[in-house]
Structure 1
Amino acid sequence: MSTDSAAPSQQQPALPARLPFVAMLLWLIALTASAAPLLSGLSLPELLSAFWSYDGANYSTVLAHYSWAPRVAIAVLIGCGLGLAGAITQQILGNPLASPTTLGVAAGSQFGITLATLFAPGLLAFSPDIAAVGGGLLAIGLVIALTWRLGFSPVTVILAGLVVSFFLGAINMAFLLLKGEWLGNLYIWGAGSLVQNNWQPFLDLLPRVLTIAVLMLALMRPLQLLQLGQASASSLGGRVALVRALALFLVVLMSATVVSRVGMVAFVGLAAPVMARLLGARTLGQRLLWSTVMGGGFLLLADTLAHWATAWGGSSLVPTGTATALIGGPIILMALQSIRNTHHMPGQDTNPGSFLPKRRSLNTVAIALGGLLLVTTFISMAWSPGLEGWNWTPPWQWADAWVWRGPRLLAAILAGMALGMAGTLIQRMTGNPMGSPELLGISGGAALMMVIVVISGLEIGRFGQLAVATLGAAIALGLLILLARRHQFAGNQLLLGGLALSVFMDAGLRLVMASGGTVASRLLNWMYGSTWLVSETEALGLMALVLGFGVLLVLTLRPLMLLPLGSASASSLGLAVPRARLLLLLLASVLTAAATVVIGPMSFVGLIAPHLARVLGQQTVGRQLVVAALAGGFLLALADYLSRVVMYPNQLPAGLLAALVGGIYFLWGLSRHGRA
């Protein structure tokens, strides 16, 4: 048994001095920055007394008591609660990417609030907790149902959580596009806001958070057994599946309760435990304590910066959740520079595969997928609704219909193939089935640059938009390369750094979209995969690029087969590991950027397509690449057709339908497989 799996010794590891120093510095900066605007009119004792009293004759004390003090208190309370929830989540799943966000809890809570807003507004008036907790339980319930037979394998739970997040997020966005007049304010709420005008929200939230926190701490001893690994913990009498289920349920309650009150600030649940771990928290007790402490200070600082930015921006609201991600992403990126250990987490299997479907013939699967793709193409070109109902267009008239249907269909197929291949490269290169183009931040970089240019009012034309989006993807890729080069592009650091970049880019998108008015609303369609803007020239250019890089992928088969053996073994077999990882990353990034700049950031396909290939029984590298490309092409071709005809003459973004179609199929495929 490795030292990572050995039982913890009686002597606790020494706590590095930098951890309490950084935590104290974080709190000092946050409190000072928060109090600074009020200190010009109040003394420090008067400001501190604002937490329990005020002077009715002094407006500054009234403002401090009813606005500043409850905002500080609720930020600290929520930050501490989410930090603890994040540490618990990472402990039970043994994965540093685990958080309430990646388990789908945040997306589920938002889904519950969205449904209640549309169909049961009285429920929100009675208690927003019910809708949020119900949505969060729905999300985690789907995750548990899908992974129960797999013994709550950490990788499988995270993977299912990501897919559930995409699936529910797609439904949320579809409702927003269709019912924007009712749900527009959910964009601001979705980004998180801690603005307070009395103490009631804090008083309502305090007993809930404290109760859930006490219940979480009561599971501390069973959670310590999980550090030994599932087999060892079970042999010592630990009921691993039950402990994980209870802990996940408490995480849902904590996250959903917070989301219902202040919106989406759940990134704290990822950032705080990561910071505590990177700064030296080793034991479970240390991680829980310092994740809680760091979470409170981190959210208070983020909220203060959001408040300052709102004041400087002419009172245009800057959501707290956005500020949290904007400063949290760079913090994780900087903290990652000190990591030298690239091994798996304690208790995490070195082989990430969690289910092994029956092998099937490549020819059979490829022919079946190719046939489905041809049938979809034929139907898309031939059978479509018009002003006088559904019309059948015979093949000899397709030349006339091509200008309306052909370029978008061709671009959708090629983009799906590009993302399928990119996702396979990333998952194979990192040895982590959670890897996807989205987690590398490349799609977010392209989308962020394009959105900023459009909202700024610059008229640069379609070619200029493509150039700017390409620049954004290149900047994100450059940052990722600079980050991962120190660690020889190892899987864990690459994914965690990419996730930080992705969250940072998404926060920027939320910020500009929340302040962009009608222009921002129009950009929603492109952001979620609109294919109707594609021209024939763009589609043909994408075809040349995808075919060219598809041929180059033949050269990647040997590196992709050797990298899962580990750096030492791969190097001993003659592979230049850092160079191979860099070239694979470049290939995946170019394929992702090409798809993103043409039809929008639809990298959901990059996560789903490789797993569909595995579900269909293709385990070797070459076979998985071929089938993932065909699956991605078929998925987006079907999504493009449905987006055009389901609500004719209105259209839905193909990316949303791809998330729905692919998510349903993937969840069904995952649920069919038992323990590996």
Structure 2
Amino acid sequence: MASNHSARGAVLFSLSMFLPALLGMLLLVLWQVPAERLYAALFAPDVADIGELRVHYSLLPRLAVCLASGAALGLAGAVLQQVLQNPLASPSTLGISAGAQLALSAAIIFFPGLIGWSRDAVALGGGMVAVLLVFAFSWRQQFAPFTVILSGLIIGLMFAAISAALVLHNERYLAGLFLWGSGVLKQYDWETASALLPRLGVLTLLVVLMMRPLIVLGLEDGAAALGVNVLAVRAAGLILATALAGAVTAQVGIIGFIGLAAPALARSLGADHFKRQLFWSPVFGAALLLITDVTVQLLDATVNIALPTGAVTALLGAPVLLWLLPRLRMINKPALSSPTARPQRVGNPALLLSVLFVLALAAIWISLCFGRAPDGSWQFVRGEMFQTLLPWRLPRVTAAFAAGAMLAVAGVILQRFTGNAMASPEILGVSSGAGLGIVAALFLFSAPSYAVLTGAAALGSLFVLTLLLGIVASGRTSPNQILLAGVALGALLSSLFAILMATGDPRMMQLFTWMMGSTYGVTPATAAGAGVCAVIVMGLMPLFSRWLNVLPLGQDTARELGIDLKLSTLTLLGFAALATAAATLVAGPLTFVGLMAPHLARQCGLARALPQMAGAALSGGMMMLFADWLGRVVDFPWQLPSGLVATLITSPLLLWLLSRR
């Protein structure tokens, strides 16, 4: 009886998505051809009628590709979640799609013959590399769900950063790859559909043939007792799911979060058995992608706004993930706030901080003096040459060091306040919230000043922190779930940025530059503003040190020691938001410096709040300074954005740290 009820609910839900989508598709067709020519347009178009050609060679193959891609991603998500016994597993959260995109980008540049040989094989290889890396960094945690998902998200971001670097240096060859990477379903013939449908059909058949061992795999320990080779079944399932996602990515680009949302909807509507999930997940995946794509096409036809479908579908992922978090008990363990080994405290923090200060001065001096000459050779500049280069290098050095220091201080505050060693402005989406404020300022003001941008970014950061605080206040989430909530909010805002940049608005080029974290265009005024903000942040740190020493002991202890929890919470979050906003204006939304620098300070033995903040600020400043210097010299005369370089440097360190917890 319950099964019939759940099936009825699934049918009604799928119809509620398919019927409006098909109605919208009919409207799109009737805008091109009259009703009496509908049959001819679909099956025998008149070559002299442009409307009929558009229907037959654009709308119809787009419909086929859309349905096939959505179904394949839904099926891939269901298989991944069953194989890993993890309800958050999907091609997006495991970095499979980003790995496929990176492999295709690299092949186009370095091995173009591979693209002609088999684009699907290249995408499959990239996706499998991503999966293997996720497993390598999750092995020590025995593939704990939180570790697997966070590793996948970090690897996905790292691969996306590498892809962005390739695009920046090979714009001639990869000019269309940026838009393609956002998931574009536009079709101009039946070539993509003819290539995609047979491949997906074969892979789907193989999944169906594996259904019984996959079902038994859900018994965990009982699977081996029943004679199932667990390792072989897991490997085969992962290869099939990766092949499904890779085939879609190779043909249409990255379609975000369909693989996460479709199985989640299937389970929420009563498909608790894997056999039913295997049926309804592709149905819901096709329905979700179809209704999204039809909406995108209607917007293009009515208001002339062309949006990439993949970026729009990514907007679905964050609400689904936030909705799932309170229902996922398995994500609560292991807690990352309890490290297995605590570093020893240093006996003389002042001496260590003095050493770090001297190292920071040396790093600043090297960054100003050592680099590439106009002919590409390495040299230390001095005298007149130093005076000539100083107005060019000093603003970048100042801005980079100040941004790294402020991100580090914000990271210390968030880690000690939340009691979670993996908290940071980047992971919690606070940096992306600053981007939301920047977008608002760009649309509200014709030429916003640095002060206006900083204020708007601070409000955006504070908005995200307030949302996370509301999730904490609900009392239904663990520290790990809070981190995933921050990741979801960051993904939501990143999708919004991708959609805005796809509109072609000239103001969005400034947003793109900011997202890359480039210091190339930093002016002396901007650098001075960042430096002043850093000095203010450093000067105010002692005022919060007592709160940050006591709050990790628990609310009851803090209250007994006379700390006003409401005042301390609002002050600390506001201070972290302001520091993050001022830093991300220079460094961009994703550097991981705010996560790594507090850990470096703690590993050096700086355990108390004030020494840790000071040590983290110096370490973070040097990390961003090193990233900016590398961006200037590693591929001279071309330059890489410092935020992008910082992401490439800190992502492996972050993965190593995650694997050691």
Query: TM bucket by the smaller chain?
Result: 0.7 to 0.9
Higher alpha-carbon deviation: 241-250 or 251-260: 241-250
Tell me the residue number matched to 2:287. Answer: 297
- Corresponding residue to 2:175 among 174, 184, 188: 184
Amino acid at match of 1:419: L
Give the distance between the partners of 2:386 and 2:334, measured in 1 at CA: 52
524, 528, 545: which one aligns with 2:537? 545
Structure 1 counterpart of 2:147, one-letter code: T
Query: Residue 168 of structure 1: CA displacement?
Result: 2.1
Could you tell me which runs of 5 or more consecutive residues in structure 1 were left unpaired when the two chains were aligned.
Answer: 1-10
SS in 1 for 2:286: helix
Q: Deviations over 1:551-591 (max 9, x none)?
A: 5254134443548xxxx999999999999888776555444
**Residue 509 of structure 1: aligned partner:** 497
Partner of 1:5: none
1:306 maps to what in 2? 296
| Inter-CA distance 140–607: structure 2 relative to 1 (3 Å threshold) | farther
Instruction: Indicate which of 324, 348, 351 corresponds to 2:335.
Output: 351
Deviation at residue 609 of structure 1 after TM alignment: 4.5
**1 CA distance for matches of 2:379 and 2:474?**
59
Q: For 2:559 and 2:624, how far apart are their aligned partners in 1?
A: 38
Q: Find out whether 1:35 has 2:23 as its counterpart.
A: no
Alignment partner of 1:643 is 2:635:
no
In structure 1, the partner of 2:407 is 419
Q: In the alignment, what sits opposite 1:409?
A: 397
**Structure 2: segments with no counterpart, 5+ residues:** none
1:324 aligns with 2:301: no
Does the 8 A contact of 1:352 with 1:431 survive in 2?
Answer: no
* Cα deviation, residue 391, structure 1: 4.8
Cα distance change on mapping 1:451 and 1:294 into 2, 3 Å: same
How far residue 629 of structure 1 moved from its aligned partner, in angstroms, is: 5.1
1:261-305 deviation digits (Å, cap 9, x = unpaired): 001113322333344455555444454443322211111111112
Match for 2:256: what amino acid? A
* Letter matched to residue 311 of structure 1: A
Which residue of 1 is the match for residue 516 of structure 2? 528
Aligned-partner SS, 1:345:
helix
Q: Residue type of the partner of 1:175?
A: L
Q: Equivalents in 1 of 2:166, 2:373: separation in Å?
A: 25
AA partner of residue 351 (structure 1) = A
SS of 1:643's equivalent in the other structure is helix
1:113 to 2:104 alignment:
yes
Tell me the equivalent position of 2:364. 377
**Alpha-carbon distance in structure 2 between the residues aligned to 1:286 and 1:463:** 55
1:81 alignment counterpart: 72
By how many angstroms is 1:440 displaced?
Answer: 3.9
Q: Is 1:447 matched with 2:431?
A: no
Shift of 1:75: 0.9
**Alpha-carbon shift at residue 79 of structure 1 (Å):** 0.8
Residue 69 of structure 1, aligned match among 60, 64, 69: 60
Q: Which is further off, 95-104 or 36-45?
A: 36-45
Mapped contact 1:612–1:666 kept (Cα < 8 A): no
Identical pairs, percent = 35
8 Å Cα contact 1:153-1:354 kept in structure 2: no
Matches within 5 A, 1:473-512: 473-477=461-465, 486=474, 491=479, 494-512=482-500
1:321 aligned partner, one-letter code: G
Point out the more displaced range, 96-105 or 416-425. 416-425
Partner SS state of residue 498, structure 2: helix
Deviation at 1:82, TM superposition (A): 1.0
Aligned mates of 1:617, 1:223 — CA distance in 2: 48
Residues 361-405 of structure 1 show CA distances to partners (whole Å, capped at 9, x for unaligned) of 556996686665454234224434444765546799999976544
The 1:550/1:95 distance shift into structure 2, 3 A limit, reads farther
Out of 545-554 and 153-162, give the one that drifted further.
Answer: 545-554
How much does 1:318 deviate? Answer: 1.8
- Give the SS at the match of 2:186: coil
**How many angstroms apart in 2 are the aligned matches of 1:379 and 1:101?**
40
Number of corresponding residues: 652
Aligned partners of 2:335 and 2:480 also within 8 Å = no
Secondary structure at 1:15's aligned position in 2? helix
Other-structure match for 2:147 = 156
Give 2:262's aligned amino acid: A
Deviation digits for residues 506-556 of structure 1 (CA, Å, limit 9, x no counterpart): 223223323438775565433211234142232121331255257525413
**Residues 431, 270 of structure 1: alpha-carbon distance in 2 compared, 3 angstrom cutoff:** farther
Displacement of 1:653? 1.0
SS at match of 2:330: coil
1:464 to 428, 440, 452: 452
Deviations 1:448-477 (A, max 9, x none): 553576589933343333344344434545
Change in Cα spacing, 1:584 to 1:452, as seen in structure 2 (3 Å) is: closer
Cα deviation 1:607-649 (Å, max 9, x = unaligned) = 5456667888999999987776554333212112222333445
Greater shift, 658-667 or 270-279, is seen at 270-279
2:621 corresponds to 1:633: yes
Secondary structure (helix, strand or coil) at the match of 2:329 reads: coil
Change (3 A) 1:200 1:61: same
Query: Does 1:601 find its partner at 2:586?
Result: no
State the shift of 1:132 in Å: 2.0
Change (3 A) 1:379 1:240: farther
Separation in structure 1 between the aligned mates of residue 648 and residue 479 of structure 2, nearest angstrom: 29
Secondary structure, in 3 states, of the residue corresponding to 1:602? coil
Counterparts in 2 of 1:211 and 1:439: CA distance versus 1, 3 Å: farther
> Normalising to structure 2: TM-score of the pair?
0.81
- The CA distance in 2 between the partners of 1:240 and 1:573, in whole Å, is 53
Shift of 1:256: 1.5
